[in-house]
Every structure is written in structure tokens, then in C-alpha cells.
A and B are shown apart, each in its own frame.
Chain A
Amino acid sequence: MTDHDPRSAPAWSRLPGPLPVNHAWVDARLWREIAARCHAEDGRLGSLWGSDERPTGSGFVVHAILVSQEGWHWISLKAGDTNPRFPTLSDLFPEAARQERALFDLLGIGSGAPDTRPWLRHEVWGPADFPLRRDRADAPPAARGADPYPFVPVRGEGVHEIAVGPIHAGTIEPGHFRFSVMGDEILRLEARLGYTHKGVAKRFEAMPLATGARLAGRVCGDSTAAYAGAYAMAVEAVSGCAPPPRALWLRALLFERERVANHLGDLGALCQDGGLAFGLTQFGLLKERWLETHRRLFGHRYLMDVIVPGGVACDLDATALGLLESEGTAVLETTRRLEDIVDDHAGLQERFLGAGRLDRAQARALGAVGLAARASGIACDLRALWPSPPYDALGTRVSTRTGGDVAARVGVRFDEIRESLRLIQAILAQLPPGPVCAPCDRAEGLLGLGAVEGWRGRILVAITRARTSGDHHVHIHDPSWQNWPLLERAAPGDLVPDFPLINKSFNLAYSGLDL
């Protein structure tokens, strides 16, 4: 770095843990400069959030994680005690916009960005009531102010709006979609989420870090292993705990099994929405048997509470390893057969090809991550770019497709099932011996970050602790923060009846985002 490099001014300190994360306290000028530099280097915003550190004299603090080729930079800015403010990053990173709105709803820290509509608040707590402020009594909100949400209108002859939700027609989570349509064609889609906001961050503040693992594994049920894994990494980072190698390998096994389970389920649902009910039956059966194996070997069909800070709460004997191996081989064979059928099925391909297209430039501009980004040609995958053990030893082949449409997102799912099954076999063959858990109950560090490539994308968990009081704040970031805007961009131009298929091809989280 040269002398003029603004990064030479802040005092970076490397955080413990497998990720190359450097942290620094910055002022408002550096906050912008570092973000702009990251943006110029083609980096992205990982997450943006805040916490109330007034009890320890730091006032309100805003944090951002920036991810670029050079590694991970976590910057923290003191936003003041009264009337706290910080400079917006949403002009650089559009994915910051809703995170900044959520930050204002929870803590009343303003970013100065033009869009000041509430995001999480809905009408259920008052506009001057900021629930994550530590001096706020945890009482139910007093008054409901009625503030209808101003969706961005589309005007013109023949344009009308379709309002869907919060309760959807299927067995899915609640949210609201506002379509502006002309005939059957979608002109604009705007999502309004936050319906399942449950005050998770507030709940974490009242829970010891060890018991918080149960909650972390329950903010998004389909990604419980990935969430619990990221949470455990963050707790281990602040506790100076190194989980034993066998635990890390078992965790990777669980992450990959979770990915396969979800991809199988999604492929079934996508076939169904595309008009091939056979696919739902077949993939549904594969997934069901896969989940039953989880129940038998790990005690829970979705792997809840299996990953804990310090390691894992399970172990596998030789019989179990053999069973997992032969199951992997069988699932690979069946999936190959099914992929053949899906590829050959003209009716299905007709629905998949070209639907919900999002090209690489659009995906880049919106900060796409995970599966959806890879289907638009962006090879971002934590397991390959910043591999933590055992992924450094395993080597992950990242699947990318260039189509950016439903077909590409289906294709990436097939590729990833094959790759996960390959990783699973490698893990089973090389699983190191030894204990599966280390003590992890002495939090001493002040900052910890955990990150796991979940099946949707990169899940982050950041823990900040106050040195004097021992108070902590847990921030959880779901990749859907970045990827909901992709869906809103992909749907226009398609027909309303194709929306369920396009939506399913992204299959984004509600609860994991609303928290």
C-alpha cells in the first residue's frame, strides 16, 4: 500500500478465526473512503448493521463488512449519542439501502439516504420508538400509527397493480409482493418484507452466547446447519476457542448434506411449478429419505442443534460412515437419471429457458451472492474463495452458468448436488479421528465474525461485546438481503403466471431476513 492509501490511516487489527478479517474504527470520512475504495476494486458490501453501545460510552455504533479480493474489512463508526447519523453507503452498494432502513427502524440511526420508508417497522411500533436501544423498556409497543406503505407507483394507461400477501397461497413464509402489470406482463415488482420480524437481535442480547446457538439455528429452518455453523464460528472467535479438526470436518459434512436436501426439495418444486408433477414425487422421495438419515444419525431431520459453539454434538461410527457413503452413491445415481429426464423434457425446458433472466452485469450491480449469482455467471463461493478448514483441503469446484434464467438456477442446483456429493464422499474418506468438541465458554474477545456458504449463499454472523459490561450484540445476515432485489429485477418482462416459477428458482428467505 502507498502512503496515500486511506487504509493506511486506520489501525487495522486482524480478528481471530479462519477468515482473513481485519477490523478498524473509522471516522465518517474514512468510512466513505474505504467503502469507495472497496467498490472501485470490485468488492462488495457483506453486511451493514448497528448497535447501541452508549452504556460503555461509545454511543451508537454502525458496522459494515466489506469483502474484496484483498480480504475482509470490518469497519466500525461511532455515530454519536444523540441524533446519531452516518454517511450512507447505498449510493455505492444498492444492497445497503434496505439494511440502512432496517437499521433506522431498530436504532434510529439515520443514513441520509433518500428512501426513508420504514422497512421492518410496519405499523406495529411507533415511528419514534427504537426497539434495539438498550434503554428502551421491553414493553409491548404502546400505539399503532397507521402508515400505509408507499409502494413506488407505475403510471400509464392500462397499468394496474396486483397486491399479493402477506399470506401467500402456498405453504410458504409471509411477505407482500406488489406487481404493476400491463395485461399479463409484469412491469415492476416491489417486495415488502418484515412481516415475520420477531426481535431476534433483542432476544440474543438477553441470552448467554452458549444458549444463543439454539436461537441461531432457528432463524431460518432450511439453513439451520449453516446458521448454527456461522454462529459457532463467531462465538469461537470471541472465545479464543479452536474446535477440533474432526468437528470441522463433520460440520462441513452437515453443511453439504443441508445443501443437497434443499436443492433436492427445490428441484422437485421447480418441476412441479413447471408442470411435471413426476419431478415433485421423485425429488420429494429422495429428500425424504435423506432427511430420515439425518434423523437416524444426527437426531434431527433438519440438523437443528447438531452444531454447537466448540464443535458438534454428534459423532459417526464406522457403520454410519458406510451408510452415508452408500446413500451418497445411490442419490448421485438417481439424481443423474432425473437430470437426464428434466433436460430431455421439452415442456419443462420451455418453461425454464429464458424465464426470470438476470444477466451478469445486472447481478453484479445489485451485489448478487450465492446460488443466484453463480447462475448469472459470478463465481462467488466462500468455500472456494476463502476456504476455511476443511474446505481448504477439499477444494470446491464452483458451478457457474451464464444464462441467468430459471434454467440456469436449475442447472446450478444439479451441479451443486453432484459437487456436494463428491465433497461428502471425500469427507467420509478423510474424516480425521479425535474429539468432536472443545470447551467454548469463556468469551474474552470483543469482535467475532463467522461466515458459512449456505445453500442460498453467504451467511454471516457478527458478535460484538462490550469489554466492561460483557453485554453482547449478535448480528445475523442472510444472503437474501442481497438477493431479493435480484428477483425484483428478474421478474419484469415476464408474465404474471410465470412468477411462482421464477420466485421458486430463487427461493429466498423471509424469516432469516426479517429476524
Chain B
Amino acid sequence: MHKLIRQILKTGILPRLPSRRRDAVLETGAPGPSLTDEIGRALAVRHVDTGSCNGCELEIQALGNAVYNLAALGVHLVASPRHADVLLVTGPVARAMADPLRTAYEAVPNPKRVVALGDCACGCGVYTANYATVGAVSPVIPVDLAIPGCPPSPEVIREAFQALMRPRLRGSGIRGLMRRFMARDG
């Protein structure tokens, strides 16, 4: 036990990751209205692999490590789509996974968002539509946010989640911003 505690003390507490400007990462697809406006602070995410090479999964797993600490952001991965706000889809859609994907999508309660993670989910990547592959995620179910990359780095995925959670600006530009801040102060 003492060895374990020594190792914990030796590791220490890692610094919080700085959050950068979030829009920069969202090359394709515009985020819909912020989910957190509708459901509160935390996001429950259900991951569905529809044919990924497992590279994107490795980065989703990495998001849980002490450096990226996704949970600290208020995002957690859940086991059932019924508990989820967000469906996080990886891989091109293999034909045998199209129906399971639709079923999972329908099981997520409204309001919900779909995030396509990785080049394959966004646009089929190195694969191509053929007898066994339908293609990207978007023709199968509607996609709200696309995160390109092969695989996208954990920083980028983390920032995309932050964007999804960013409070919606009512109105546009500076006036909308001002209204928000005034509303908060008042």
C-alpha cells in the first residue's frame, strides 16, 4: 500500500489544460444550438463505432486520461444511448452497422446531438462506399458536428465538446454578447 501511495504522491496533480479558442477546430458542419442551454451543464455521451479502424477509439479512451481529463469538463461516456445526450460516431458506416446506428440514434432522447468523429465518420476517409460500406455518417443519421482528423487529437475532440457545451449567444455579434452578460449580472 505504501508503494501505491508513494507513486500517487510522486505523480502529483496535473495542471488543468488551458482552453483555447474553440471555433478553430470545427472545419465542417456548424454546431447546432448549444445543448447545455437545453439540458444543463454536463453532457452524457454514447459512443458508437460503425466500422472504425479503432484509431478514433484510442483517442476517445485517451480523453479519459489524467492529461485531458474529459470528466472535469462535465462530459462523461455512458453505456446506454437512453442515458445519452450526444451520439459520438466513429468510422465509416459499414453496411452491417447502419441499422444498429439508426437504432442507437432513435434510442437517444431529445434534444440530442450527433458528433461524427474522424475523417472516416465525416467523409469516409481512406475507405470508400462499396458493397460493404455505406459511406460517411451523415447520410445515415443527421450530423450536428464533424471533427476531422485521422484520428483527431484528444485536444481537438476536447475543444469540440467545449464548443458543444458553450452557452448559446442570443442575438448576434456584440449585442448578443452584451445581452448575455447583462442578463447574467442582473
The reply to whether A141 and B54 form a contact with Cβ atoms under 8 Å apart is no
Of chain A, the residue at the smallest CB distance from B47 is A171
CB under 8 Å from chain B, chain A span 463-515: 509-512, 514
Contact with A along B35-70 (1 / 0, CB 8 A): 000000000000111111111111111101111000
Give the one of B66, B80, B94 with max A CB within 10 A.
Answer: B94
The reply to whether B66 and A285 form a contact with Cβ atoms under 8 Å apart is yes
CB under 8 Å from chain A, chain B span 117-176: 125-133, 150-151, 153
Of chain B, the residue at the smallest CB distance from A201 is B132
Residues of chain A within 8 A (CB-CB) of B49 are 167, 171-174, 196
Does B91 touch A at the CB level, under 8 Å?
Answer: yes
Of chain B, the residue at the smallest CB distance from A199 is B132
A509 to B58, CA, bound (A): 13
A194 to B132, CA, bound (A): 10
A173 to B92, CA, bound (A): 13
The reply to whether B130 and A278 form a contact with Cβ atoms under 8 Å apart is no
Take A171-B57, A285-B11, A301-B153 as given contacts and tell me if A511 and B52 are in contact as well, using a CB distance cutoff of 8 Å: yes
The reply to whether B131 and A171 form a contact with Cβ atoms under 8 Å apart is no
Does A14 touch B at the CB level, under 8 Å?
Answer: no
The reply to whether B66 and A221 form a contact with Cβ atoms under 8 Å apart is no
Does A443 touch B at the CB level, under 8 Å?
Answer: no
The reply to whether A282 and B11 form a contact with Cβ atoms under 8 Å apart is yes
Does A317 touch B at the CB level, under 8 Å?
Answer: no
The reply to whether A281 and B66 form a contact with Cβ atoms under 8 Å apart is yes
Does A218 touch B at the CB level, under 8 Å?
Answer: yes
CB under 8 Å from chain B, chain A span 132-180: 136, 138-141, 166-167, 169-174
The reply to whether B51 and A198 form a contact with Cβ atoms under 8 Å apart is yes
The reply to whether B64 and A284 form a contact with Cβ atoms under 8 Å apart is yes
Take A301-B153, A510-B54, A511-B51 as given contacts and tell me if A288 and B60 are in contact as well, using a CB distance cutoff of 8 Å: no
Residues of chain A within 8 A (CB-CB) of B126 are 214-215, 218
Contact with A along B82-95 (1 / 0, CB 8 A): 00000000011011
Does A12 touch B at the CB level, under 8 Å?
Answer: no
Give chain A's interface residue range (CB within 8 Å of chain B): 35 or more
The reply to whether B132 and A124 form a contact with Cβ atoms under 8 Å apart is yes
Does A125 touch B at the CB level, under 8 Å?
Answer: yes
Does A291 touch B at the CB level, under 8 Å?
Answer: yes
Of chain A, the residue at the smallest CB distance from B56 is A221
The reply to whether A166 and B97 form a contact with Cβ atoms under 8 Å apart is yes
The reply to whether B54 and A122 form a contact with Cβ atoms under 8 Å apart is no
Residue of A287, A302, A340, A510 near B65 (CB, 8 A) is A287
CB under 8 Å from chain A, chain B span 1-57: 3-4, 7-8, 11, 14, 47-57
A214 to B100, CA, bound (A): 28
Take A124-B96, A197-B132, A198-B133 as given contacts and tell me if A302 and B55 are in contact as well, using a CB distance cutoff of 8 Å: yes
Of chain A, the residue at the smallest CB distance from B14 is A285
The reply to whether A173 and B52 form a contact with Cβ atoms under 8 Å apart is yes
Nearest chain A CB to B154 CB, angstrom units: 8
Does B177 touch A at the CB level, under 8 Å?
Answer: no
The reply to whether A302 and B8 form a contact with Cβ atoms under 8 Å apart is no
Of chain A, the residue at the smallest CB distance from B1 is A344
Does A203 touch B at the CB level, under 8 Å?
Answer: yes
A364 to B186, CA, bound (A): 74
A141 to B126, CA, bound (A): 21
Residue of A174, A200, A224, A302 near B100 (CB, 8 A) is A174
The reply to whether A304 and B150 form a contact with Cβ atoms under 8 Å apart is yes
Take A194-B96, A196-B97, A199-B132 as given contacts and tell me if A173 and B7 are in contact as well, using a CB distance cutoff of 8 Å: no
Nearest chain A CB to B51 CB, angstrom units: 4
The reply to whether B132 and A302 form a contact with Cβ atoms under 8 Å apart is no
A278 to B54, CA, bound (A): 25
Residues of chain A within 8 A (CB-CB) of B8 are 278
A473 to B169, CA, bound (A): 54
Nearest chain B CB to A493 CB, angstrom units: 26
Nearest chain B CB to A514 CB, angstrom units: 8
Residues of chain B within 8 A (CB-CB) of A139 are 131
The reply to whether A220 and B3 form a contact with Cβ atoms under 8 Å apart is no
The reply to whether B96 and A218 form a contact with Cβ atoms under 8 Å apart is no
Take A202-B130, A203-B130, A511-B52 as given contacts and tell me if A302 and B58 are in contact as well, using a CB distance cutoff of 8 Å: yes
The reply to whether A198 and B92 form a contact with Cβ atoms under 8 Å apart is yes
Does A21 touch B at the CB level, under 8 Å?
Answer: no
The reply to whether B60 and A171 form a contact with Cβ atoms under 8 Å apart is yes
Contact with B along A328-358 (1 / 0, CB 8 A): 0000000001101100110000000000000
The reply to whether B131 and A174 form a contact with Cβ atoms under 8 Å apart is no
Residue of A173, A195, A220, A288 near B67 (CB, 8 A) is A288
Does B79 touch A at the CB level, under 8 Å?
Answer: yes
A338 to B8, CA, bound (A): 11
Take A167-B100, A172-B49 as given contacts and tell me if A221 and B151 are in contact as well, using a CB distance cutoff of 8 Å: yes
Residues of chain A within 8 A (CB-CB) of B97 are 166, 174, 195-196
The reply to whether A167 and B104 form a contact with Cβ atoms under 8 Å apart is yes
Contact with B along A273-308 (1 / 0, CB 8 A): 000001001101101100100010000011010000
A285 to B14, CA, bound (A): 10
The reply to whether B95 and A141 form a contact with Cβ atoms under 8 Å apart is yes
Give the one of A171, A285, A511 with max B CB within 10 A.
Answer: A171
A203 to B126, CA, bound (A): 9
Nearest chain A CB to B88 CB, angstrom units: 9
Does A450 touch B at the CB level, under 8 Å?
Answer: no
A138 to B104, CA, bound (A): 29
Does B77 touch A at the CB level, under 8 Å?
Answer: yes
Nearest chain A CB to B82 CB, angstrom units: 12
Interface set of B (CB-CB < 8 Å, partner A): 3-4, 7-8, 11, 14, 47-62, 64-67, 77, 79-80, 91-92, 94-97, 100, 104, 125-133, 150-151, 153
Q: A221-B52, A221-B53, A341-B7 are in contact. List 7 more A-B contacts (CB 8 A).
A: A169-B80, A195-B97, A222-B54, A222-B55, A282-B7, A288-B62, A291-B62
Q: List 27 A-B contacts (CB under 8 A).
A: A125-B131, A140-B129, A140-B130, A167-B49, A170-B79, A171-B57, A173-B52, A173-B54, A173-B57, A194-B96, A195-B97, A196-B52, A196-B96, A197-B94, A198-B92, A198-B94, A215-B127, A218-B125, A221-B54, A222-B58, A284-B66, A285-B11, A288-B65, A288-B66, A291-B62, A341-B4, A514-B94
